[in-house]
Structure formats: C-alpha cells, structure tokens
Amino acid sequence: MTGTGDLGRRIIHHRERLGLTQEQVAERADLAPGYVKYLEENVDTPDQGVLYRLADALSTTVDELLGAGHDRPPGRGPAMAHPTLEVLEQAECLRLIEPGGIGRVAFSGSHGPTVMPVNFKMHHGAIIFRTAEGGPMDQDLRTGLAGVDIKIAFEIDMIDETNREGWSILVQGPAHHVEPEEVADVAASGVTPWAGGERHLYIRIIPHQISGRRIHCL
C-alpha cells in the first residue's frame, strides 16, 4: 500500500476499530467492495456523497475522515441529551484495555504531580510499557529500596465524539522495574514506544485496583 494517502489510512483505522472487512464497509456504504479497497490503497478523494456514506458506515464524520480537527483535544462537542454513567465491572475493564494502546501514567515526580502518555501492552495480566534507562521517569519511579516499588496510577480512555459516548479505566498498582533476567519474558508483549529513542527499560504495573466508567445513552 505504498500509495495509501491520509484518507486511506483513516478508512483503514476506522474499519479496523469497528472490526469490519472491506466488504462489510462497502455493503454499509452501498459501494462496490473494489472501490473501498481502491480508496484504502490509493491517494484519492471521492465526492462528498461517497464521503458521507463512508463516514456513516464507519460511525464517524466526514471531517474526521478528512483529518479536520486533529490538532485539538477530543471531546469538545456537547454532551448527549440524557447521558448515563455506568460503573464497569473489573472483567469488563480488563477486556477493554486488553488490546493495548496509549494510556497515561500518573505519579509524584521530582517536580510535582506528573502525568505522561505511554504506549502499553497487557502481558500475563500486567501493564507493560517502556521508558529511557536513567531518564526522569526511571528515577522518579524508584524508591531506592530493594524490592520496594512505587504505587502509581494508569489511565486509558476512549472518546467517541460522533456518538458522544466513551469510557475511562483507572488502574492502580506498583510500578516494577523489570530486571535483566525478566526482560526476555516481558519483551514478548511486543510493546514499542511511538516516541522512539533509547527506551529499553521495561516497567510493569501489577493491577491492585481497577475501576472504570462508561458514558452512554439510555
């Protein structure tokens, strides 16, 4: 897909987010499957009618497909008329975060309360992420006592601006610096940091407390 443009990448992203095949998207949008495949693999912008049908089929908006508003925080739209806040069971929380992605770690840093985004994966029931060895996060998450870990918070959420729904999961537990003899095991999680660089230190969070909320309509 060397010719794939931004529109094609966003179609693929939303299709995979919904777990749909190209054929299913085509059926939803009343398009030929070959045309959906073409739009995913080539740099092209179809007419407005096709864009609206695609957006509807992918449960998103035309602006989102075209990349509008990507420099602003999500969730700026109005709330739904009668939102319901649902408390999630622990099993559902774990199911939602199982695929991994980008979350935020919160801890008391050297300059005060600190929240930082990290790429993470779930591995054997634990949250795994990577940071720079000897860097600020590495130092802030060390107690200086052998066998004693700092308890931190980890948060991940999903905001569906189109449907004005979403969920948020909070995990609390100790942040364990993975020892050299443990690296081979946690490296099997496949977690990689988007920021790149020399981030070879693995941190493992053992969930001690898990809570979650989902906002949706009745």
Which CATH number fits the domain that encloses residue 28?
1.10.260.40
Q: What is the CATH number of the domain that holds 206?
A: 2.30.110.10
Residue 204 near residue 186 (C-beta atoms within 8 A): yes
Claim to verify: residue 38 and residue 143 sit in the same structural domain: no
Structure-model confidence comparison of residues 172 and 67, the more confident one:
172
Claim to verify: residue 95 and residue 148 sit in the same structural domain: yes
Q: Does pTM surpass 0.75?
A: no
- Residue 147, class by beta-carbon neighbours within 10 Å (0-12 exposed, 13-18 middle, 19+ buried)? exposed
The reported pLDDT for the residue numbered 218 is: 66
pLDDT level of residue 44 (50, 70, 90 thresholds)? confident
Spatial separation of the C-alpha atoms in residues 15 and 60, rounded to whole Å: 10
Claim to verify: residue 199 and residue 94 sit in the same structural domain: yes
At residue 77, does pLDDT exceed 70?
Answer: no
- Residue 180, class by beta-carbon neighbours within 10 Å (0-12 exposed, 13-18 middle, 19+ buried)? exposed
The sign of the torsion formed by the CA atoms of 34, 35, 37, 41 equals positive
Provide the domain limits for residue 113. Answer: 83-217
- Residue 52, class by beta-carbon neighbours within 10 Å (0-12 exposed, 13-18 middle, 19+ buried)? middle
The reported pLDDT for the residue numbered 71 is: 67
In terms of residues, how long is the chain?
218
